[in-house]
Amino acid sequence: MERILKAAILGMGNMGRGHASSMMKMEGVKLSALCSEPIGDARRFAEEEHLECQIFDDFDQMLEEAQIDVLYICLPPFAHNGQFEKAAKRGIHIFIEKPIALTLKRGRAMAEAAEKNKIVTQVGYQMRFGVAVKKFKEYIADGTAGRMTLYMANYECNSLHGPWWRDAKRCGGQVFEQVIHLYDMSLYLMGKASAVNGYVANLCHKQVEGYTVEDTSVSNIRFKNGALGSVCGSNCSVKNQWNARFRVICENMTAEFEDQNHAVFTFTGEEEIRVEEIAADADCTYEEDRYFIRTVLGEEKPMADIREGYEGLKLVSAVVSSSEKEGSTVRVE
Ligand SMILES: NC(=O)c1ccc[n+]([C@@H]2O[C@H](COP(=O)([O-])OP(=O)(O)OC[C@H]3O[C@@H](n4cnc5c(N)ncnc54)[C@H](O)[C@@H]3O)[C@@H](O)[C@H]2O)c1
């Protein structure tokens, strides 16, 4: 008989709703409990979707009273306070949105809890599930790309976002919250980082009340395999646009990504230069959710697990701590 996983979601804002919608379309999983504090977000979703499930505003109570095989943690960064470890202790498999934490100590505790309790984990790095990114990974794996040399990435938007996002203490900053997608992509494509220097600055939003995060950032990365990288972020760019573009130069090909689904690959290691264009419209939130459920069911290998989430956290923490030391080099241990 087909196994049906019981799924619960903690945090029913933008991302909680997105993952809940995926669950409702997917086979092999049933959405059985929602939790948000205040409870209104969870209630509203269940009513709008005519969903029959348990609704909570207390995470501990949900753990006690609901049957849960997989948990989605979709909280703002400041609200993580041990929910991951409590669920891991019960053997519940966990999908968690990025950034997994605001401090390395919290992130490390999560990774250790997952490993100790042998649970399946996945972090919300949905860009990894784009069609163009998947194709490029194949070219790296089969040797077509050749040696990885240079990663260049830009995250740009112009939005005030919500109150917790603008507050450095609650959100961590744009590097932690958004540009982290491109830092994760650098680790996914280029391999582990060894050293970083960076600067972050608030240049356009000093007059905005409560806006204490940076709106401009830049970093240089050295990877363990000798490759180099550079990542920039801005919240002073074009309004109503969210762009996460990156370009990778390898020994035998140059890959230019407009986003995770759109890229132009120029093969430079052949006698004549050849170009391949990829244009797809994969719903990467749905794809990452399906992948996670399939991993829990034993049909896929873990991808973007909590240990990789912790590596991403180490990298963005290194950028910010380099900036605090006037851009001096910070080793990523
Ligand atoms: N992967 C992506 O592309 C992507 C995109 C946007 C946001 N995110 C991440 O998802 C996370 C959530 O972001 P969002 O935009 O959904 O936030 P949001 O503010 O829209 O929603 C947060 C939800 O959490 C609930 N909540 C807050 N504290 C709580 C607590 N202590 N207990 C229970 N519920 C609590 C709120 O009531 C709300 O329902 C953030 O870490 C963010 O970085 C990821």
Is 128-280+306-331 assigned to CATH 3.30.360.10? Answer: yes
Closest-lying ligand 1 atom to the alpha carbon of residue 99: 41
Determine the distance separating the centroid of ligand 1 and the alpha carbon of 195, expressed in angstroms: 30
Residue-wise pLDDT for 61-120, tens only, equals 999 999 999 999 999 999 999 999 999 999 999 999 999 999 999 999 999 999 999 999
CA angle in degrees (0–180, nearest 5) for 322-325-328: 60
Determine the distance separating the centroid of ligand 1 and the alpha carbon of 17, expressed in angstroms: 10
User: Could you tell me which CATH class the domain 5-126 is placed in?
Assistant: alpha beta
Residue-wise pLDDT for 17-58, tens only, equals 999 999 999 999 999 999 999 999 999 999 999 999 999 999
Start-end of CATH 3.40.50.720 domains in the chain: 5-126
Residue-wise pLDDT for 231-274, tens only, equals 999 999 999 999 999 999 999 999 999 999 999 999 999 999 99
pLDDT band at 2 (very low <50, low <70, confident <90, very high): confident
Q: For ligand 1, pick from 97, 160, 259, 285 the residue to mutate: most ligand atoms within 8 Å of CB.
A: 97
What is the overall mean pLDDT for the chain?
97
Contact 193, 332 (CB under 8 A): yes
- The reply to whether ligand 1 has any atom less than 6 angstroms from the CB of 289 is no
* Residue whose CA is at the smallest distance from ligand 1 atom 30: 37
- The reply to whether ligand 1 has any atom less than 6 angstroms from the CB of 304 is no
Q: Which residues pair with 274 in a beta bridge?
A: 267
Start-end of CATH 3.30.360.10 domains in the chain: 128-280+306-331
Burial 114-149 (b: 16+ CB within 10 A, else e): beebebbbbbbbbbbbbbbbbebeebbeeebbeebb
Which pLDDT score, from 0 to 100, does residue 1 have? 63
pLDDT band at 223 (very low <50, low <70, confident <90, very high): very high
Residue-wise pLDDT for 148-193, tens only, equals 999 999 999 999 999 999 999 999 999 999 999 999 999 999 999 9
pLDDT band at 333 (very low <50, low <70, confident <90, very high): confident
- The reply to whether ligand 1 has any atom less than 6 angstroms from the CB of 163 is no
Helix (H, G, I), strand (E, B) or coil at 184: helix
Identify the H or E element spanning 268.
Answer: none
